[in-house]
Amino acid sequence: MSQESLLSELNDRSREVFRRVVETYLETGEPVGSRTLTRALSERVSAATVRNVMQDLEFMGLLDSPHISAGRLPSQLGLRLFVDGMMEIDAVAPTDREMIDQTVGNDSRDTSALLDRISTALSSITHGASLVLMPKHEAPVRHIEFVSLAPDRALVVLVFADGHVENRLFTPPPGQTPSSMREAGNFLNAMAEGRTLAELRGHISREMAARRAELDALAADLVESGLALWDDGQTDPRLIVRGRANLLDSEAADLDRIRVLFDDLERKRDIVEFLELAEQGEGVRIFIGSENKLFSLSGSALVVSPYMNADRKIVGAVGVIGPTRLNYGRIVPIVDYTAQLVGRVLSGRKG
């Protein structure tokens, strides 16, 4: 049965009972009983009448009844019906808007740093885990440099011809020295001019096969490590995930479920493929429970919105993951505003 048909079957009383159940559940996370609803309804009715309405809503598949309680919870179908047909969208609160705006700063040329700050702010504001899919960068590479941070941590700095800078953190092969890092950088820079990252990746692979003997073994290992970093493999540098700890706070009673979600978040390529679905259309999209094929969990939700470049082409996405008990009315406009802000900044637009 379509959502329109389900909504048309609800009279005013059923609609209000359903809306109150969903709103109370989203606020408290607890099953909602008939006595609680009786006190909240605009119409004076008995608890028995409310129970009958709730039973009808359960028969329609809009509510579920947990074994541990006489109260009701919205089903996944019920949440979808509420989100699409009954939810009231709030305006972005001034404090939230200010916190998002402050992430831009005075220099937005380093896109990865900017989007990292935005992702951190988004997770802090929404108390969920944030996802930011960075745009693919098509400009030619001008300079590549490896920087050692610790024996097991290094940075590759990519400077593009249009001034864009990306810093990518990775684990270098063991035994790297400043000398091997310089040699690897020189080897790559000799081939970089005029080539995009995708073109350079293929060219390096061919050159490595022909010229490996020219490179110190450590430098050769580092170049190959860099190739793996730029590949479309498991660790996709285009995806920024922040705020996993917020999920532990929100679902502390179900740690096993959250561990599975963490495992899903680690499979970054799957998430990138999923977020790229957001690039198929404008506006905020909401995926609830098992509608979201990305996650093994049925108890999670994703609110995601694409953002555009100056040519009005969708180039990336921002999103928030949390339990299905998200405050959708608050989070949807926050995600929408953030996506529009990212689009404006990357396009050099004002306002």
- Domain CATH for 216: 3.30.390
Domain count, the chain: 3
Q: Indicate if the pLDDT at residue 85 is higher than 70.
A: yes
Same domain? For 195 and 153 the reply is yes
Confidence category of residue 121, pLDDT binned at 50, 70, 90: very high
d(CA 322, CA 244): 9
Same domain? For 127 and 173 the reply is no
d(CA 186, CA 3): 61
pTM of the predicted protein model: 0.71
What is the tens place of the pLDDT at every residue in 271-316?
A: 666 566 555 666 888 888 777 666 555 578 889 888 887 777 777 8
Q: What CATH number has the domain bearing residue 108?
A: 3.30.450.40
Residue finishing a domain among 164, 197, 230: 230
Average pLDDT over residues 123-151: 86
The two three-digit tokens of residue 261, written as one number: 């979600």
**Weakest-pLDDT range from 17-21, 23-27, 73-77, 239-243:** 239-243
Domain containing 12 equals 3-86
DSSP 60-113: TTSEE--TT-SSBEE-HHHHHHHHHHTPPPPPPPHHHHHHHHHTT-S----HHH
Same domain? For 337 and 284 the reply is yes
